[in-house]
């Protein structure tokens, strides 16, 4: 499992922690079940410690094809301990297999937990955990694809994540930190994707009793800032709808390249308010992110369904799956089990694209994402002051403006902006 890209935003754990010394290949660790594991070479470093290739103890050295990894951190650190609680309660191989069988699934993207324990070396104690070895993360694939995924791929990823999240939720937890760098392909099968890093996982329903909504100002904005839920922005503990809201933001970003608030991630209140506006008018949010002919209707329907959920509600997983499957049908395809990362627009406009062809009258101007983001900034700046008048002029101008050939769209938006200001104030 390679190290994951560091993501923006903050979580609950402290930023600075002790890192363990590097253990030599061949070091043997014995878990609480008395099973011995042999370390191979270190292959990554997380915020908590080091990640090693590993295998069951034998006379052979651990090779590059090792099927397991072991995470190691100083015992006084907290993140791995938090993650361990989830794995021990929910990710044992027999639990995963039983749930897959009951839901008629061939695969499920939750790494299997194989053991854990404490290890002493040089007078120091270390905590370790053994899980499946995985491959590359989706953040790297996203960047390799020019920061857009094909529409089919995004819908397939959404379907797989619904399976994963339903499993996690059924076992009393929420993940709370879904993002491309926490999604990893299988080491042996590039068509399987796994959700990893349960350091922020929260037990929302201990012993089947769902916790009530409660805001804690000290916990505002927990998670990764660009994706975290409105509940988290307000200081409430994550819930099932929180995971699905985060998934919505991920799917939009994978399709169009970026989220409208990404330029101001250092301002969590701005990000929170932008997400609140998104929830208040999902249709406008989609217009800000996509050109009219490329807008994925299924994503808007998915977001509206998630928006309707209460804090303690159980999500309608099957209905959400149906929405994404309908999206696949609308582009004349289906989930064939193959994840194709071939760079392509997948029916969605790339982040930067300037068109110079003529638009006929009464056709909405289909700007690139950057231009839509420009308009989004204008909307943020003046909607509160201009109120309904601004929105009416915005809709009128989008429907009636007919730019001449070779008109630069940024100039067009500039002129629209000037007109709106003159009409609004």
Residues known to be catalytic: 177
Determine whether 156 is exposed, middle or buried from the number of CB atoms within 10 Å of its CB (0-12, 13-18, 19+): buried
DSSP 387: H
301 is in an annotated binding site: no
- How far apart CA 275 and CA 258 sit, in angstroms, is 14
- 139 close to 5: Cβ distance less than 8 angstroms: yes
User: Can you say whether the dihedral through the CA atoms of 322, 326, 327, 329 is positive or negative?
Assistant: positive
The secondary structure element, H or E, covering residue 203 is strand 202-203
- 309 close to 241: Cβ distance less than 8 angstroms: yes
- 346 close to 149: Cβ distance less than 8 angstroms: yes
Burial 248-267 (b: 16+ CB within 10 A, else e): bbbbbbbbbbbbbbeeebee
The secondary structure element, H or E, covering residue 282 is helix 282-289
Binding residues for ATP, as ranges, are: 71
Binding residues, as ranges, are: 71
């Amino acid at each position: 499992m390679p190290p994951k890209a560091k993501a923006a935003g903050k979580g609950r754990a402290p930023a600075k922690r002790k890192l363990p010394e590097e253990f030599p290949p061949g070091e043997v660790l014995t878990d609480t079940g008395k099973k011995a594991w042999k370390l191979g070479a270190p292959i990554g470093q997380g915020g908590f410690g080091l990640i090693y290739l590993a295998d069951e103890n034998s006379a052979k050295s651990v090779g590059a094809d090792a099927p397991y990894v072991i995470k190691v951190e100083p015992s006084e650190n907290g993140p791995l301990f938090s993650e361990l609680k989830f794995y021990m309660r929910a990710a044992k191989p027999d639990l995963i297999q039983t749930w897959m069988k009951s839901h008629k699934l061939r695969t499920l993207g939750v790494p299997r937990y194989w053991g854990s324990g404490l290890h002493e070396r040089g007078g120091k104690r270390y905590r370790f955990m053994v899980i499946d070895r995985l491959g590359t993360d989706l953040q790297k694939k996203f960047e390799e694809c020019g920061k857009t995924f094909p529409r089919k791929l995004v819908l397939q990823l959404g379907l797989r994540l619904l399976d994963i999240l339903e499993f996690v939720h059924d076992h009393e937890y929420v993940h709370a930190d879904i993002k491309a760098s926490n999604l990893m392909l299988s080491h042996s099968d590039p068509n399987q994707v796994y959700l990893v890093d349960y350091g922020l996982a929260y037990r929302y329903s201990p012993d089947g009793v769902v916790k009530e909504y409660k805001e804690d100002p000290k916990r505002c904005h927990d998670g990764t800032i660009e994706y975290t839920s409105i509940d988290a922005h307000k200081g409430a503990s994550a819930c099932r709808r929180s995971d699905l809201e985060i998934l919505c933001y991920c799917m939009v970003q994978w399709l169009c390249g970026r989220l409208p608030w990404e330029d101001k991630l250092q301002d969590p209140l701005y990000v929170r308010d932008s997400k609140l506006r998104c929830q208040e008018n999902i249709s406008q949010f989609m217009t800000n992110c996509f050109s009219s002919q490329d807008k994925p209707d299924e994503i808007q329907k998915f977001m509206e369904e998630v928006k309707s959920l209460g804090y303690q509600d159980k999500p309608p997983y099957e209905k959400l799956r149906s929405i994404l499957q309908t999206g696949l049908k609308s582009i004349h395809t289906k989930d064939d089990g193959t994840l194709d990362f071939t760079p392509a627009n997948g029916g969605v406009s790339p982040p930067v694209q300037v068109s110079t062809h003529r638009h006929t009258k009464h056709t909405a101007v289909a700007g690139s994402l950057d231009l839509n983001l420009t308009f989004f900034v204008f909307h943020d700046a003046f909607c509160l002051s201009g109120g309904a008048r601004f929105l009416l002029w915005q809709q009128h101008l989008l429907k009636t403006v007919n730019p001449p050939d070779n008109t630069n769209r940024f100039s067009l938006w500039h002129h629209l902006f000037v007109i709106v200001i003159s009409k609004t104030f």
